[in-house]
């Protein structure tokens, strides 16, 4: 089964193009908010603090950030390796360059290379906000290179074998003189294996892998958001000549909802109410994504734009406990169709108004009057 990994940029609430100063500023703000000393006894806050600290430790370092931008979390797994198409990852690329220049003079080189792991793959999945709330188990169909069964990934026709490469003598590398240096490179004939196939497999043409359709089951946990990445280990491309396969990364995209907008774990909806409800107060019911009806109390005298918050009924916390909040933004609606009786009642109300009923309007017109007096003095 797959597990979700939160993007470092998402953890620090910055864009991928953010400069060092922006990343540092956002980290300080988040560290202050989630520091265990400010949230004693809260394991979720402690876990969040550790996660953002790990993210900042990576992104503040130019080399680590470059590796992360290229390979994602895989850049620092399995001992720091895991770059696309290579088992050595960020650190291993530098080691290969160093060794190819200085060779065995510094204790390296000479041995045949291990076949590199297969390439990682990306799959984009679109889900609804309801599915992001509840989580789901989804099936996806992809076509990916897999180990050739007749040759068991070795690339040789069954019943035949391999022979030692004559160009490199089975070492997988060849050396050449360049100025004062002896440069060591991967053998172009055997591609570092030290062996060549006598008779290539007819099923895969000597590649050791073939493209096949595959159906996978993916677990999408509750609380995911657009940009959440799910890693399915070992379901990427098969490695050449029997090497381990890469991984499959599923990037999620959450569709817009007809009622709710989302900011992190907070759900936001805009609700129109009549001006009589706004004046007298009342209550409304909002159907939540959890299937429950949530009652919202409307205080008397509420104005358009006022936000009412109901805690703990928003989106689930990804890989954590609890839920965010539901925020209801009020919009006071003016009626466009009135009966004769309704108009009479409104005129009676208007006749009793003193100006103190709407302090906002009274204050505004008082300021207008003062400004006019200043102009005419």
Question: Residue positions in the annotated binding site for Zn(2+)?
Answer: 148, 151, 165, 168, 187, 190, 201, 204
Distance of CA 150 to the CA centre of its chain: 39
Structure tokens at 227: 């940009």
Structure tokens at 41: 């006894």
Residues annotated in the binding site, as ranges? 148, 151, 165, 168, 187, 190, 201, 204
d(CA 4, CA 115): 29
What are the strands of the beta sheet with 3-5, ordered from one edge?
3-5, 229-232, 248-254, 121-127
Distance of CA 74 to the CA centre of its chain: 14
| Strand residue runs (E) in 258-352 | 261-263, 266-274, 282-287, 293-298, 307-310, 326-333
Structure tokens at 78: 């399995």
d(CA 239, CA 331): 58
Helices 62-71 and 89-102: crossing angle, nearest 10°? 110
SS3 call for 232: strand
Region label for 373, one of left (φ > 0), alpha (ψ between -120 and 50) or beta (otherwise):
alpha
Let me know how long the chain is: 377
């Amino acid at each position: 089964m797959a597990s979700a990994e939160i993007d470092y940029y998402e953890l620090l609430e910055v864009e991928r193009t953010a400069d060092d100063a922006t990343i540092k500023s956002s980290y300080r703000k988040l560290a202050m908010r989630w520091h265990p000393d400010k949230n004693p006894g809260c394991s979720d806050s402690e876990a969040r603090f550790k996660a953002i600290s790990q993210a900042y430790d990576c992104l503040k370092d130019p080399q680590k950030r470059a590796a992360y931008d290229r390979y994602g979390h895989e850049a620092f797994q399995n001992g720091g390796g895991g770059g696309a198409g290579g088992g050595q990852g960020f650190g291993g690329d530098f080691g290969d360059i160093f060794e190819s220049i200085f060779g065995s003079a510094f204790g390296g080189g000479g041995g045949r290379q291990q076949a590199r792991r297969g390439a990682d793959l990306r799959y984009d999945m679109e889900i609804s906000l309801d599915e992001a709330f509840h989580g789901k188990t989804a099936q996806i169909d992809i076509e990916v290179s897999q180990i050739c069964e007749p040759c068991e990934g070795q690339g040789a026709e069954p019943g035949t074998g391999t022979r030692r490469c004559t160009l490199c003598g089975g070492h997988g590398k060849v050396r050449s003189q360049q100025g004062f240096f002896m440069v060591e490179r991967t053998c172009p004939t055997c591609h570092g294996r030290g062996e060549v196939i006598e008779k290539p497999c007819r099923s895969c043409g000597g590649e050791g892998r073939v493209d096949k359709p595959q159906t996978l089951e993916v677990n999408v946990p509750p609380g995911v958001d657009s940009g959440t990445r799910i890693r399915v280990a070992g379901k990427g491309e098969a490695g050449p000549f029997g090497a381990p396969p890469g991984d499959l990364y599923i990037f999620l995209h959450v569709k817009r909802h007809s009622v709710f907008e989302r900011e992190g774990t907070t759900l936001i909806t805009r609700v129109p109410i009549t001006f009589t409800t706004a004046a007298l107060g009342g209550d409304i019911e909002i159907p939540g994504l959890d299937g429950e009806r949530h009652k919202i109390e409307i205080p008397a005298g509420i104005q358009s734009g006022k936000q009412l918050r109901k805690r703990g009924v928003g989106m689930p916390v990804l890989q954590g406990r609890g839920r965010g909040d539901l925020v209801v933004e009020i919009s006071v609606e003016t009626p466009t169709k009135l009966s004769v009786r309704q108009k009479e009642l409104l005129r009676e109300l208007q006749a009793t108004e003193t100006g103190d009923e709407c302090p906002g309007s009274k204050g505004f017109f008082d300021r207008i009057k003062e400004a006019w007096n200043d102009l005419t003095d």
